[in-house]
Structure 1
Amino acid sequence: MVDNITGITNGSKSSDTILFRPVTANVNVIIIQVLVGIFLYINSLMILTFFMKEAFRTDTRYILFVHMLFVDSFLMMATNLTLLLLYYRLVIPYEACIVLNLVMIWLQFCTPLTLVAMCLERYVAVCKPLRHAAISTPRIRVVGLLLIWGLGCVPALVILLSFAALVSAERLTMRVLCSVDALIVIEWQRYLQIAVFKFYFLVMSVVIAFTYIKVAAAARSASGENRKSSTKGTRTVALHAIQLLLCLMQLLTPFVEMAALQISVVVYNQIRVVNFVVFMIAPRCLSPLIYGLRDQKFFQTLRNYAVFGLDKKIQPAASQSRKVKLRH
């Protein structure tokens, strides 16, 4: 028994399952593994930087930032695992595939929700600075993180409930070539999934647009140092908006891939690789740009840990050398 979409079998590999072209697939997989390795290394370095300095651990925007790094890292590893399972055509128990897909859906929504929270934090910091300290308390942070995870799990629960109402117990005993469509049994589930995605896209886009307009207005009306800070906040929110757009587009890539599968397996494989690089890796590479490079305080600390503390040793030596030259 074989399902052409999810690759369900009774334990044997089938010729009807999705196959990769050997040479192209090898190159694509190697490139993806290199990119994923670089991404995880940079994330690990930034997480280390966050935990090594107390000033970052007590700042709401850095807490949200490192939360997003954790979410992105686990999502990247889960998605990469699914990609490798497909590439090597490894069948796994259907229950394990269901859990893997639910975790990926959950994490996929946690990232844009965290971006929305970061934009709201910048809105409060720029537009309501007197209330920022009262809002950025440990209790509010915990509530905010719980809210992110709670809202993020709703789409996964909706998809799980619709799946549980349709699937038979016999189907769960099968083994599957796991893909993102393992939870799609009949066509209306796909429309339900699209409806949930569109609802989240609309709400989050409205929030992002609201914060950008407010921060931009504050930047225009401010002066001096306040204007400089507000302008920087506007750019940060704009980068978050781009990042959010790419993340939300990534939620729709499974439907594009399934449409490509109806055309050709070769087209499907190419689009799958492009989607993974453009909508999975690229949005998450914007985080180092936004905080690792643009934030001077974080960048200096990150640079120190990136060179294993050599930066601090070189600077005193250089200053001592300058002093000796001045004496002569």
Structure 2
Amino acid sequence: MLQIDKSQLNELIKAISSSKNIVITTHHNPDGDAIGSVLGLYHALKALGINAQMVTPNGFPDFLGWLPHSDKIVHYSRDKKAVEELLTNADLLFCLDFNGFKRVEDMAEALKKSPAKRVLIDHHPEPESPFHISISYTEVSSTAELVYEVIEQAYGEGIINYESAVSLYTGIMTDTGSFSYACSRERTFTIAGKLIAKGVIVEEVQGLVYNNFSENRMRLLGFSLAERLKVYPEHRAACIWLTRNDLNQFKHQIGDTEGFVNYPLSIKGIIFSVLFTENDGFIKVSLRSRGNFSANTFSKLYYQGGGHKNAAGGKAFMSMDEAVKQFEELIAKHTAALNA
């Protein structure tokens, strides 16, 4: 069992008890772990009789919209003034599932200006230092798992109700690909079991998250695999590339390409997969790997990004054709490591 530093827990408990305006936030393009962590903590604080506000830099996928009180999350991209006011008035700010201001993108300046004491709870490597309390452990499966540990060790698991449990379970489930990677610690499954004991119905959560996509999203996936997949067996690598026109053709919504980058890793012999998605002014780069080849290092070297060893993200500031061509040159350069 992971033991969080007692002095940090005591400092955190003191900060919570003395705060009047608590805000919980997470990274840009929040995924299941981000939203699950935010809501899991929100419901736990509520069970303690403590009110908090939740803000995100932008919206989140529709398949997370069923989570209890997700409609109370305020998006900076939709209501900039409201979020800035909340951050200005905050005296305690929880930063979940990100370890540096750049991960909140346009909301970064408002976050920096907030006078609140900042608390980091995160599982990504190499956290930056603008946090007053930094609870960072890379060995856990997800930030949701770490949030559970913080709640249990600070206040006891009794305050985790169904609403908190189903949120945290969703975070763990989505960040491990339904317990298929980054989850080889016994404690991860122990925590999942404790959350299930709170009333979480596994089949129901699976269905709400993974069987709740639009027809357009399904057709976009088919198009991606049939028309936009490039495989490089000699380098044990593959990529998918989607232009703005491709996305518009299938009426792309936030979260529609979630998980696409993992599909090429199902191909025999492929250990490295990259998804290029065209945005306004840049190309979003999602990287996944298996084994010892580090997606994190690759992202840091070439895409101004980072993340975990086998899951990372970044950006490319070039055309799509240039991005794909560069990728082909880079995997040729790293072919020895890819074939090790």
Q: What TM-score do the two structures reach when normalised by structure 1?
A: 0.25
Larger Rg: 1
Larger % of strand: which? 2
Per residue, is there more helix in 1 or in 2?
A: 1
